Amino acid sequence: MRSLKAAALVSVLLIGLTSCSPAAPAQPSPPGSTTQAEQPKSGGTLKVAIQNFDPNLDPLTSRTGYSSHVTNVMYNKLIDIDVNSNLAPGLATEWQFAPDAKSLTMKLRQGVKFQDGKDFNAEAAKGTIDRARDPKESSAAGTLQSVDKVEVVDPYTVRVSMTTPDVSIPFAMYLDVFSPGAVVVGADGKKTYNPIGSGPFKLETSTADRVSLVKFDGYWDKGSTYLDRMEFFKITDPIVRLSALRAGDVDVVEAPSNQDIEAIKKDQSLGYILRPGNINYRFALRVDMPPFNNVNLRRAMSYAIDREAVNKAAFFGTGTVNQNFMYPGHWAYDPTFTGLPFDLEKARNELRLGGQPNGFKFSATIVNREPELTVAQAVKAQIAKVGIEMEIVPEDSTKSFESIRAGTYPVRHSGGSRGAEPVKDLEEFYGPSPTNTYGYKNAEVDKLIELMRVNPDQKARIDAMKRLNVIFAIEDPITIRLVEAAEVKAWNAKLPA
């Protein structure tokens, strides 16, 4: 393979987003980085092995964040977010609130073409936002509840008006902008989505386990793309992913097995990144159905889990125990907050208070991959010590999500990330939102979310987040957070600079 200078592209894959949300800045330089004096050569194909993706490549309906590895190079964001969780220009180059914070006006980048030849303009931006806030068509609708209307001011200016002040709304503009020709309405009224963005690569083919992209010659950022092609392979087993890298079948892998990290460090044929990540492994509970409509039973389960032991068993000690809502390094993360400790006696007391002194049984849908399965087995053994019996039901990640949404199982375990702006995740899953799939209702939580939405004062927002940590982890838990996994990616060290 010839020289990449996908420094921008490889950075997205290697040191950028592990899901649709940003992580902390990395220290090592990715392959493809060049000094000022070096002139990279054009051409070549980069082959990347990832855990999963949704082959429809529709960023608004995908049920797996891993699709973002692919969509990040097919689309551009309306407003981007950098590796430090700060807002950055995307297709919107500048934005400004009205004095009452009830509308946001965005100036748009000119001279941008979509991969089908259509122009990017205010109508296209409006179309993306309007579809994103429709709960029938978008999993992002919960983050846009405050939006009242979207207006085209002029060909390259769009205004988003809210029903209430919302200082977090620019973060909700972290949307993949699609072409007006992407959504096709058939004669029967049914809509079909074609993945057409304005990013540096466009779709060639997509199957259940492989996506092929080719360079988009009309990309607006001229001279930034040196690769001819990118290929993404769905390889769910982390050991198989690493084997494919070592065999030369792929150039880059994300999330190799934690048990292989030390070997990767010592392998001179590989480059790697190991840093704090933004994937928290947790048990999400349906609190509107037995047995976890009983808060004491939720606390009993949390007390009965030895999180450090889970970190050692599933992550070989590379993770970070974390019961905060947000991830380490984020402004809303409180390093002094520890949540509920591992305490079997307190777990038994909560069982007594919850009317189940001898324990109880439940079934949990577990995403059928590692490290979720190892985490689940470790937790199963731990909580059994106080009489809590958990049946593990492995399922595909998409089916697992739908199972808990439908109420088939009261518990779902998987790894999940958070966005750069906590209000958007809080609204989506914990407030009165159509995407709140866990049946959670808490009046104080609703008020705190509202405070964070309307109040620009950072200290007040941090204080609100501290109170939410206490509610979510101690007083009225809905999600039992365990370990923040390290972000690990590896690549062939022979990739030319």
Residues 345 and 473 in one domain: yes
pLDDT in tens, 333-353: 999 999 999 999 999 999 999
pTM reported for the whole predicted model: 0.81
Residues 437 and 340 in one domain: yes
Work out how many domains the chain is built from and give that number. 3
Q: Check residue 408 and give its pLDDT.
A: 78
Per-residue pLDDT at 299 exceeds 70: yes
CA distance 372 to 392: 11
Residue 468 located in a structural domain: yes
Q: Check residue 248 and give its pLDDT.
A: 96
CA distance 249 to 258: 21
Among candidate residues 164, 196, 228, the one where a domain is terminated = 196
Residues 238 and 331 in one domain: no
CA distance 361 to 386: 11
Residues 103 and 126 in one domain: yes
Among candidate residues 196, 211, 234, the one where a domain is terminated = 196
Residue 266 located in a structural domain: no
- Domain containing residue 113: CATH number: 3.90.76.10
Q: Which domain holds residue 306?
A: 277-485
Q: Are 325 and 465 in contact (CB under 8 A)?
A: yes
- Domain containing residue 47: CATH number: 3.40.190.10
CA distance 21 to 331: 15
Give percent above pLDDT 90 in the chain.
68
Residue 35 located in a structural domain: yes
Residues 469 and 425 in one domain: yes
Per-residue pLDDT at 327 exceeds 80: yes
Residue 9 located in a structural domain: yes
Choice among 21-30, 212-221, 266-275, 402-411 with the minimum mean pLDDT? 21-30
Residues 287 and 396 in one domain: yes
Q: What is the mean pLDDT of residues 6-15?
A: 43
Say whether 213 sits in a helix, a strand or coil: strand
Q: CA–CA distance from 154 to each of 85, 108, 120 (Å)?
A: 30, 10, 13
* Cα 453–chain centre separation: 21
Per-residue pLDDT at 302 exceeds 60: yes
Residues 139 and 229 in one domain: no
Where residue 393 falls among pLDDT bands split at 50, 70, 90?
very high
Residue 262 located in a structural domain: no
Residue 29 located in a structural domain: yes
Q: Check residue 11 and give its pLDDT.
A: 45
DSSP character string of 373-417: HHHHHHHHHHHGGGT-EEEEEEE-HHHHHHHHHHTS-SEEEEEE-
Where residue 493 falls among pLDDT bands split at 50, 70, 90?
very high
Where residue 143 falls among pLDDT bands split at 50, 70, 90?
confident
CA distance 72 to 247: 27
CA distance 431 to 79: 24
Neighbours of 204 (CB within 10 A): 12
Residue 495 located in a structural domain: no
What one-letter code names the amino acid at 433?
Answer: S
- Domain containing residue 339: CATH number: 3.10.105.10
Q: Check residue 405 and give its pLDDT.
A: 66
Per-residue pLDDT at 159 exceeds 90: yes
Among candidate residues 152, 169, 196, the one where a domain is terminated = 196
Residues 186 and 216 in one domain: no
Residues 191 and 214 in one domain: no
Residues 67 and 80 in one domain: no
Residues 141 and 39 in one domain: no
Neighbours of 181 (CB within 10 A): 14
Residue 359 located in a structural domain: yes
Per-residue pLDDT at 9 exceeds 50: no
Q: Across the chain, what does the average pLDDT equal?
A: 88
Handedness of CA 72, 73, 77, 81 (dihedral sign): positive
Q: What is the mean pLDDT of residues 218-239?
A: 93
pLDDT in tens, 79-113: 999 888 889 999 999 999 999 999 999 999 999 99
Choice among 72-76, 79-83, 146-150, 342-346 with the minimum mean pLDDT? 79-83
Neighbours of 384 (CB within 10 A): 13
Q: Check residue 497 and give its pLDDT.
A: 52
Residues 349 and 410 in one domain: yes
Q: Are 94 and 107 in contact (CB under 8 A)?
A: yes
